[in-house]
Amino acid sequence: MRVAVIAPPYPLEEAPAPPLGVCYVAAAFEQAGAEVRIFDFVVSGYSKEKLQKAMDEFKPHVVGSTSVTMSFPQAAQIITDVKEIDPAVYTIMGGPHVSFWAPETLEIFPAVDCIVVGEGEQTIAEITPLLAKGETLENVTGLILRHNGDIVNTGWRDFIQDLDSLPMPARHLLPLSRYKALGFPVSIITSRGCPNQCIFCLGRRMVGHKVRYRSVKKVVDEIETLLEMGFNRINVADDLFTSNKKRVREVCNEIKNRGLKFGWSAFSRVNTADKETFALMRETGCDCVSFGIESGNQEMLKRVKKGITLAQAEKAVKICKEVGILPHASFMVGLPGETHETMADSARFAKKLDAIYGYHFLAPFPGTTVLENLDEYDLEILTDDWSLYDANRPVVRTSQVSPQDAIEFVGRFEKECEEEWKRLEEGYGKGVNSPEDDLRVEGTRKVGGTFQILEEDLVEKCGVIPADLAKIPEKALNALVDAIAGRTGRDHDLVESIVVPFYKNGHIRIVNGGADACWAWTPNPGQAA
């Protein structure tokens, strides 16, 4: 049986990394005996024509897609397109959004046949042989599905206790050269579960309140594999990596014992920061830690059940600076009870922290306490358009803070950022920046240009060259740079600084064929061109 797993589009501002959830799903299908491909529309723009071509080539029997709330509308549209292309394909959706919005999804989107709720790997292991034999799934736990004209809920299954039983994420099915060209960190998890009760987060319900750990050996084996695959930066995507200091030290010591050298980052909570642990993290390559602080008002933190204090936040940032880790703080606007005074408290506290920080708007996702108990909170939902739930615009209001108030508050911060960026760009043009500031400007421009090249498939569209030119790589590369610069209107030197490393690092290659040759992304080892 052939299974295609969709990686739906993800915007550049959300730092699209190799999609970990998609790779776990694909690995579960592979382990269960299916032939699997990932149709990746993260680093290659989506079109129905592109989907049609992929389906014609692979002829999947099953197509599945996972998504978060922000990417759900596009994922649902892709599944709808799948059914239009081939109505016989069995379609599955999974992920946090549909897990808590399953009946509604099935009612609104007739193209979706089945939803896997919660952790999906064991459910996939059970449904794969049944689907291969053409049997029905109504007796498998962990599904909400169509059956005989009804919507059937088979209930949530227990959380997976032995995480070491899970297969390694199937990253070998991703277009690796594209992801390595983009350069964002590749994510891993060392555990699942979150003991905290923040009312705006669904992590506790999606993966459980009890933290379950992968063995240290499995974690570092995966890190070593990623380094061998050519990735050099890793993000630990656990809900709370530093919840168990003893285990953090064990992971770090295993990294040291194996002599692994790489940069990495992690999420943490300010009430778990201690100097000894963070110093060891820094010693093994951790250079950035992100904290969700949410508000600079202690009463607001209490209201949303964050379980931290402002004093702990200050201490955590201080520890990071003392050991050489860059602290990043995230604040939220529009929480229950938000007022002009509490927003001002957040602004003052954020500046006082002296850390890199940013703001997001509250987005009450399906499954969160705040959405399911809306009447208890000082909130009004403004829209049910899930595509707007990206935390970059207000989708709720409080009694004292209008959407415009919230936009203006964040706008003042963004204006400061824009003015700083303008200063850096002007300094870059005049040659008066520090080397560090010049690197920031160049890096930001390169990321934007790289993402456009990937999303618009410009290597393929601009890469056709005469066969005789292909014999001289330098000239062939210049032709590709000229074509991309002409098509995008981007600075020629900038495009050259992006594309030349693609070639030198082995991400792209020349493919000969008849009178013409073409540039193409390098396939994965063992993968057909």
Q: Where in the chain is the domain with CATH 3.40.50.280?
A: 2-153
pTM, 2 dp: 0.95
User: What gap in Å lies between CA 54 and CA 175, rounded to an integer?
Assistant: 14
The alpha helices in 19-137, defined as continuous H runs, are 20-31, 48-58, 72-85, 96-99, 102-108, 121-132
To 10 degrees, the CA torsion angle through 483, 484, 486, 489?
180
Burial 395-416 (b: 16+ CB within 10 A, else e): bbbbeebebebbeebbeebeee
Q: Which CATH architecture has domain 2-153?
A: 3-Layer(aba) Sandwich (3.40)
Q: Output the pLDDT for position 314.
A: 98
- Residue 64 one-letter amino acid: G
Closest CA to 121 of 161, 169, 90, 166: 166
Q: Output the pLDDT for position 528.
A: 58
H or E segment to which residue 332 belongs? strand 326-333
Q: Output the pLDDT for position 529.
A: 56
Which residue stretches of the chain have pLDDT < 50? none
pLDDT in tens, 41-54: 999 999 999 999 99
pLDDT in tens, 356-396: 999 999 999 999 999 999 889 989 999 999 999 999 999 99
- Tokens at residue 363, please? 């987005």
CATH code, 185-401: 3.20.20.70
Q: Where in the chain is the domain with CATH 3.20.20.70?
A: 185-401
pLDDT in tens, 157-187: 999 999 999 999 999 999 999 999 999 999 9
